[in-house]
Structure 1
Protein backbone atom coordinates (compact mmCIF):
# COMPACT_ATOMS: atom_id res chain seq x y z
CA UNK A 1 0.00 0.00 0.00
CA UNK A 2 1.23 3.48 -0.85
CA UNK A 3 -0.60 6.65 0.10
CA UNK A 4 -0.56 9.54 -2.34
CA UNK A 5 -0.65 13.18 -1.16
CA UNK A 6 -4.11 14.36 -0.10
CA UNK A 7 -5.82 16.97 -2.27
CA UNK A 8 -7.85 19.47 -0.25
CA UNK A 9 -11.25 20.51 -1.62
CA UNK A 10 -12.03 24.15 -0.91
CA UNK A 11 -15.49 25.68 -1.26
CA UNK A 12 -15.74 28.70 -3.54
CA UNK A 13 -18.70 30.97 -4.31
CA UNK A 14 -17.39 32.89 -7.32
CA UNK A 15 -15.29 31.49 -10.14
CA UNK A 16 -14.14 35.02 -11.01
CA UNK A 17 -12.91 35.73 -7.45
CA UNK A 18 -11.31 32.26 -7.19
CA UNK A 19 -9.35 32.80 -10.40
CA UNK A 20 -8.32 36.29 -9.32
CA UNK A 21 -6.89 34.90 -6.07
CA UNK A 22 -5.52 31.46 -6.97
CA UNK A 23 -4.45 31.97 -10.59
CA UNK A 24 -3.72 35.67 -10.95
CA UNK A 25 -2.27 36.42 -7.49
CA UNK A 26 -0.88 33.11 -6.21
CA UNK A 27 0.39 32.09 -9.65
CA UNK A 28 -1.39 28.73 -9.74
CA UNK A 29 -2.40 27.05 -13.00
CA UNK A 30 -5.90 25.79 -13.80
CA UNK A 31 -5.30 22.13 -14.67
CA UNK A 32 -8.88 21.26 -15.55
CA UNK A 33 -12.51 22.27 -15.01
CA UNK A 34 -15.65 20.13 -14.78
CA UNK A 35 -19.37 20.86 -14.85
CA UNK A 36 -22.09 18.24 -15.11
CA UNK A 37 -23.87 20.48 -17.62
CA UNK A 38 -24.58 24.06 -18.62
CA UNK A 39 -25.41 26.16 -15.56
CA UNK A 40 -24.12 23.60 -13.06
CA UNK A 41 -21.55 24.38 -10.35
CA UNK A 42 -17.87 24.33 -11.28
CA UNK A 43 -15.33 21.87 -9.90
CA UNK A 44 -11.72 22.58 -10.90
CA UNK A 45 -8.16 21.72 -10.07
CA UNK A 46 -5.44 24.33 -9.63
CA UNK A 47 -1.79 23.63 -8.96
CA UNK A 48 1.61 25.13 -8.52
CA UNK A 49 4.38 22.59 -8.51
CA UNK A 50 3.45 19.84 -6.06
CA UNK A 51 0.72 21.96 -4.40
CA UNK A 52 -2.62 20.73 -5.81
CA UNK A 53 -6.03 22.05 -4.74
CA UNK A 54 -9.58 21.32 -5.83
CA UNK A 55 -11.96 24.30 -5.84
CA UNK A 56 -15.68 23.57 -5.81
CA UNK A 57 -18.90 25.53 -6.15
CA UNK A 58 -20.87 22.42 -5.12
CA UNK A 59 -22.96 22.96 -1.99
CA UNK A 60 -21.74 19.85 -0.15
CA UNK A 61 -18.03 20.26 -0.91
CA UNK A 62 -15.80 21.78 1.71
CA UNK A 63 -16.56 24.22 4.46
CA UNK A 64 -15.74 27.92 4.19
CA UNK A 65 -13.04 28.80 6.70
CA UNK A 66 -10.92 25.71 6.14
CA UNK A 67 -7.23 26.01 7.07
CA UNK A 68 -4.52 24.48 4.87
CA UNK A 69 -1.02 24.04 6.27
CA UNK A 70 1.46 24.16 3.39
CA UNK A 71 5.13 23.45 4.18
CA UNK A 72 7.58 25.00 1.71
CA UNK A 73 11.11 26.27 1.21
CA UNK A 74 11.52 29.82 -0.08
CA UNK A 75 9.00 31.76 1.99
CA UNK A 76 10.80 35.07 1.40
CA UNK A 77 10.66 34.50 -2.36
CA UNK A 78 6.91 33.78 -2.18
CA UNK A 79 6.31 36.98 -0.20
CA UNK A 80 8.36 39.04 -2.67
CA UNK A 81 6.43 37.52 -5.58
CA UNK A 82 3.05 38.30 -3.99
CA UNK A 83 4.09 41.86 -3.16
CA UNK A 84 5.02 42.33 -6.82
CA UNK A 85 1.47 41.62 -8.02
CA UNK A 86 -1.44 43.95 -7.42
CA UNK A 87 -4.03 42.44 -5.04
CA UNK A 88 -5.72 45.08 -2.90
CA UNK A 89 -7.39 42.74 -0.41
CA UNK A 90 -4.33 41.53 1.53
CA UNK A 91 -1.06 42.73 2.98
CA UNK A 92 0.83 39.47 3.60
CA UNK A 93 3.62 39.30 6.15
CA UNK A 94 5.89 36.59 7.50
CA UNK A 95 5.32 35.82 11.17
CA UNK A 96 7.85 33.91 13.31
CA UNK A 97 6.41 30.93 15.18
CA UNK A 98 7.98 28.42 17.57
CA UNK A 99 8.07 25.84 14.74
CA UNK A 100 9.24 28.10 11.90
CA UNK A 101 8.05 31.09 9.89
CA UNK A 102 4.53 31.44 8.50
CA UNK A 103 2.80 33.49 5.85
CA UNK A 104 -0.98 33.25 6.11
CA UNK A 105 -3.30 34.22 3.26
CA UNK A 106 -7.10 34.21 3.29
CA UNK A 107 -8.96 33.55 0.06
CA UNK A 108 -12.16 35.45 -0.83
CA UNK A 109 -14.25 32.65 0.74
CA UNK A 110 -12.60 32.60 4.18
CA UNK A 111 -10.26 29.66 3.54
CA UNK A 112 -6.81 30.23 5.03
CA UNK A 113 -3.56 29.02 3.50
CA UNK A 114 -0.72 28.88 6.03
CA UNK A 115 2.58 28.62 4.20
CA UNK A 116 5.24 27.48 6.68
CA UNK A 117 8.99 27.31 6.34
CA UNK A 118 10.63 25.19 9.00
CA UNK A 119 14.16 25.97 10.22
CA UNK A 120 16.75 24.43 7.87
CA UNK A 121 17.55 21.54 10.25
CA UNK A 122 13.91 20.64 11.02
CA UNK A 123 11.29 18.81 8.96
CA UNK A 124 8.22 19.22 11.16
CA UNK A 125 7.01 20.99 14.29
CA UNK A 126 8.13 19.47 17.62
Structure 2
Protein backbone atom coordinates (compact mmCIF):
# COMPACT_ATOMS: atom_id res chain seq x y z
CA UNK A 1 0.00 0.00 0.00
CA UNK A 2 1.10 3.56 -0.75
CA UNK A 3 -0.59 6.73 0.35
CA UNK A 4 -0.94 9.76 -1.87
CA UNK A 5 -2.46 12.41 0.43
CA UNK A 6 -3.63 13.01 3.96
CA UNK A 7 -6.61 15.36 4.13
CA UNK A 8 -7.78 16.49 7.57
CA UNK A 9 -11.50 16.97 8.15
CA UNK A 10 -12.31 20.05 10.23
CA UNK A 11 -15.71 20.40 11.87
CA UNK A 12 -17.59 23.63 11.15
CA UNK A 13 -21.00 24.85 12.31
CA UNK A 14 -21.68 27.80 10.02
CA UNK A 15 -20.81 27.75 6.31
CA UNK A 16 -20.93 31.54 5.93
CA UNK A 17 -18.49 32.01 8.85
CA UNK A 18 -16.23 29.26 7.48
CA UNK A 19 -16.14 30.94 4.07
CA UNK A 20 -15.47 34.35 5.63
CA UNK A 21 -12.49 32.91 7.52
CA UNK A 22 -11.00 30.38 5.08
CA UNK A 23 -11.90 31.90 1.70
CA UNK A 24 -12.18 35.65 2.26
CA UNK A 25 -9.46 36.08 4.90
CA UNK A 26 -6.97 33.20 4.52
CA UNK A 27 -7.54 33.07 0.73
CA UNK A 28 -8.08 29.35 0.39
CA UNK A 29 -10.06 28.22 -2.66
CA UNK A 30 -13.21 26.12 -2.62
CA UNK A 31 -12.41 23.07 -4.76
CA UNK A 32 -15.89 21.60 -4.43
CA UNK A 33 -18.91 21.75 -2.16
CA UNK A 34 -21.53 19.05 -1.56
CA UNK A 35 -24.90 18.81 0.14
CA UNK A 36 -27.57 16.16 -0.30
CA UNK A 37 -30.38 18.75 -0.33
CA UNK A 38 -31.14 22.31 0.78
CA UNK A 39 -31.63 21.20 4.41
CA UNK A 40 -28.60 18.91 4.68
CA UNK A 41 -25.19 19.78 6.14
CA UNK A 42 -22.42 21.02 3.84
CA UNK A 43 -19.21 19.12 3.11
CA UNK A 44 -16.53 20.91 1.09
CA UNK A 45 -12.91 20.74 0.08
CA UNK A 46 -10.70 23.84 0.26
CA UNK A 47 -7.07 24.31 -0.69
CA UNK A 48 -4.19 26.76 -0.76
CA UNK A 49 -1.10 25.48 -2.53
CA UNK A 50 -0.55 21.91 -1.35
CA UNK A 51 -2.61 22.40 1.84
CA UNK A 52 -5.97 20.63 1.40
CA UNK A 53 -8.72 20.40 4.03
CA UNK A 54 -12.26 19.13 4.16
CA UNK A 55 -14.72 21.28 6.09
CA UNK A 56 -17.79 19.47 7.36
CA UNK A 57 -21.04 20.40 9.09
CA UNK A 58 -21.85 16.69 9.46
CA UNK A 59 -22.23 15.39 13.00
CA UNK A 60 -19.37 13.02 13.81
CA UNK A 61 -16.94 14.46 11.24
CA UNK A 62 -14.24 15.64 13.57
CA UNK A 63 -14.20 17.47 16.86
CA UNK A 64 -13.81 21.23 17.19
CA UNK A 65 -10.39 22.16 18.48
CA UNK A 66 -8.31 20.15 16.00
CA UNK A 67 -4.78 21.30 15.25
CA UNK A 68 -3.22 21.39 11.78
CA UNK A 69 0.54 21.94 11.26
CA UNK A 70 1.46 23.44 7.87
CA UNK A 71 4.98 23.89 6.47
CA UNK A 72 5.12 26.88 4.14
CA UNK A 73 7.33 29.59 2.68
CA UNK A 74 6.72 33.33 2.46
CA UNK A 75 5.14 33.43 5.91
CA UNK A 76 6.13 36.99 6.85
CA UNK A 77 4.56 38.41 3.66
CA UNK A 78 1.44 36.26 4.17
CA UNK A 79 1.09 37.44 7.78
CA UNK A 80 1.38 41.07 6.67
CA UNK A 81 -1.21 40.46 3.94
CA UNK A 82 -3.62 39.08 6.56
CA UNK A 83 -2.99 42.00 8.91
CA UNK A 84 -3.65 44.46 6.08
CA UNK A 85 -7.14 42.96 5.63
CA UNK A 86 -7.99 44.10 9.17
CA UNK A 87 -10.07 40.99 9.92
CA UNK A 88 -11.93 41.98 13.06
CA UNK A 89 -11.72 38.56 14.74
CA UNK A 90 -8.00 37.84 14.51
CA UNK A 91 -4.67 39.68 14.18
CA UNK A 92 -2.00 36.95 14.00
CA UNK A 93 1.52 37.46 15.24
CA UNK A 94 4.75 35.67 14.38
CA UNK A 95 7.01 33.83 16.78
CA UNK A 96 10.30 31.97 16.52
CA UNK A 97 10.00 28.40 17.77
CA UNK A 98 12.41 26.06 19.51
CA UNK A 99 12.39 23.90 16.36
CA UNK A 100 13.95 26.71 14.25
CA UNK A 101 10.78 27.88 12.56
CA UNK A 102 8.89 31.10 12.17
CA UNK A 103 5.33 30.35 13.26
CA UNK A 104 1.92 32.00 12.87
CA UNK A 105 -1.06 30.44 14.63
CA UNK A 106 -4.64 31.23 13.69
CA UNK A 107 -7.81 29.83 15.22
CA UNK A 108 -10.93 29.46 13.10
CA UNK A 109 -14.41 30.41 14.36
CA UNK A 110 -14.96 26.79 15.46
CA UNK A 111 -11.85 26.42 17.63
CA UNK A 112 -9.62 24.65 15.07
CA UNK A 113 -5.99 25.82 15.14
CA UNK A 114 -3.88 26.23 12.02
CA UNK A 115 -0.16 26.55 12.67
CA UNK A 116 1.71 27.95 9.65
CA UNK A 117 5.47 27.32 9.92
CA UNK A 118 8.46 28.35 7.84
CA UNK A 119 11.88 26.82 8.47
CA UNK A 120 14.53 29.37 9.38
CA UNK A 121 18.15 29.24 8.33
CA UNK A 122 20.28 28.18 11.28
CA UNK A 123 22.01 31.59 11.19
CA UNK A 124 18.68 33.47 11.61
CA UNK A 125 17.91 32.37 15.16
State the TM bucket, normalised to the shorter chain: over 0.9
Any runs of at least 4 consecutive aligned residues in structure 1 with deviations exceeding 2 A, and if so which? none
SS at match of 2:17: helix
Which whole-Å CA distance do the structure 2 matches of 1:5 and 1:96 have between them?
Answer: 28
> For the Cα contact (< 8 Å) 1:69–1:113, is it kept in 2?
yes
Which whole-Å CA distance do the structure 2 matches of 1:95 and 1:49 have between them?
Answer: 23
Deviations 1:43-76 (A, max 9, x none): 0011111111100000110110000000111110
Deviations 1:89-119 (A, max 9, x none): 1110001111111100000000000001112
* RMSD (Å) for aligned C-alpha atoms: 1.1
> For the Cα contact (< 8 Å) 1:25–1:86, is it kept in 2?
no
Match of 1:81 in 2: 81
TM-score normalised by structure 2 residue count: 0.92
Count of residue pairs brought into register by the alignment: 121
Structure 1 position 120, deviation (Å): 3.5
Paired residues for 1:48-59 under 5 Å: 48-59=48-59
Which whole-Å CA distance do the structure 1 matches of 2:67 and 2:86 have between them?
Answer: 24
